[in-house]
Homo-oligomer: A and B are copies of this chain.
Amino acid sequence: MSVIYTRVALIGLGLIAGSMAHAMRRHGLAGEIVGTARSPETRDTAREIGLCDRVTDTAVEAVKGADLIVLAMPVGAMGRVAAEIAPHLAPGATVTDVGSVKGDVIAAVGPHLPAGVHFIPGHPLAGTEHSGPRAGFAELFENRYTLLTPVADSDPAAVMRLRGLWEGMGAIVEEMEPDHHDLVLAVTSHAPHLIAYTMVGVADHLRRVTESEVIKYSAAGFRDFTRIAASDPTMWRDVFLTNKEAVLDILGRFTEELFVLQRAIRMGDGDELHAYFTRTRAIRRGIIEAGQDTDAPDFGRVKTRKDDAGA
């Protein structure tokens, strides 16, 4: 593929920015990749592993002459960083972000950006439970959705160009209204993460069941929750604080549903439980048919040797 941006500035060098660096390099999408991070340790690690072509000590240095600036830090810090870099942005540059919340980011970042700079918020729906500059890999975005939420005055040509970058990294790109994005993500990501954190927290607090028992016997189901409950605490704190209304809405619905099932258990209503569990199975099938998860048993964690299977 051909170069889409001559200089990309990555502000924040965690899993997402690191994966973008690997992917842009593999597919030849960026002339130069410049990166920076707030913590000196992160910058040192990025230099050590050659994550970017150049690592600068400040965001202001990083954005100089860049035609794409990617805000890739926890969403709660984006407004402050936007204010800091705004006076140093090149005319015609595009500023995007990779935050999991869009409404709050638009409100925090938008007002700082000067006329002549394109602001196109974005969100790659991809990630792992690992974080930091060593966690990235080039395939992270392949066959995953990236949602762009252009604002009212986003330039269509600039949106097309950013779309081209994401598609070049293997993503499926769609556009969405910011508010709808935040509701969709509350359902598909934010509420599930909070519920996973809660379930792991419950296990942590029990005294009659020891922590070592919870750990040893986790393969019975619990361990699935612990993966997403191991995600970056700062990132997730900011997600919940900035998408508060949608998350509280979904959590309210969740509690209602839970009480319905809890009551069915208490009353011994097996038919209701069976019907509920049958419906939820269909959603899993839909996800597998859409290519958004593996059909391999146990996420493919189990390695089977087929040589002596009965068939």
Chain A interface residues toward B at CB < 8 A: 21-22, 25-26, 49-51, 76, 100, 125-130, 134-135, 137-140, 144-145, 147, 183-185, 187-206, 208-209, 211, 213-231, 233-234, 236-238, 240-241, 244, 247-248, 250-251, 253-255, 257-258, 261-262, 265-266, 268, 270, 273-274, 276-281, 283-287, 290, 292-294, 297-305, 308-311
Residue of B100, B283, B311 near A215 (CB, 8 A) is B283
Known: A185-B220, A199-B192, A218-B188. A134 touches B311 (CB 8 A): yes
Contacts of A237 in B (CB 8 A): 270, 273-274, 277
| A226 CB contact (under 8 Å) in B76, B276, B287 | B287
Assuming the A-B contacts A197-B261, A300-B301, A301-B293, are A310 and B266 also in contact, with contact meaning beta carbons closer than 8 angstroms in the complex?
no
Can you list 8 contacts pairing A with B, beta carbon distance less than 8 Å? A188-B218, A192-B199, A195-B195, A195-B225, A201-B279, A219-B292, A226-B283, A244-B265
How many Å lie between the Cα of A309 and that of B72 in the bound state? 20
CA distance A67 to B298 in the complex (A): 32
> Which residues in B have their C-beta under 8 angstroms from that of A258?
194-195, 198, 251, 255
| Identical subunits present | 2
CB nearest to A266 among chain B residues = B248
- Chain B residues contacting A287 (CB-CB under 8 Å) are 215, 218, 223, 226
- A192-B286 in contact (CB<8A): no
Interchain CA distance A219-B21 in the complex, whole Å? 21
A238 surroundings in chain B (CB, below 8 A): 270
A284 with B236: CB separation less than 8 A: no
List the B side residues contacting A276 at CB < 8 Å: 197, 201
A200 touching B280, Cβ below 8 Å: yes
A311 and B49 contacting across the interface, CB-CB below 8 Å: yes
List of B residues within 8 angstroms of A220 by Cβ = 100, 125, 127, 185, 188-189
User: Quick one: which of B127, B128, B221 contacts A189, CB cutoff 8 A?
Assistant: B221
Residue in contact with A281 in the complex, picked from B139, B191, B229, CB distance below 8 Å: B229
A254–B199 CB distance below 8 A: yes
Least Cβ distance of A161 to chain B in Å? 24
B residues near A198, Cβ cutoff 8 Å: 254, 257-258, 261
Interface contact A297-B202, CB-CB below 8 Å: no
In the complex, what residues of B have CB within 8 A of residue A286's CB? 211, 215
A223, chain B: closest CB distance, angstroms: 5
- Complex Cα distance A25/B310, Å? 10
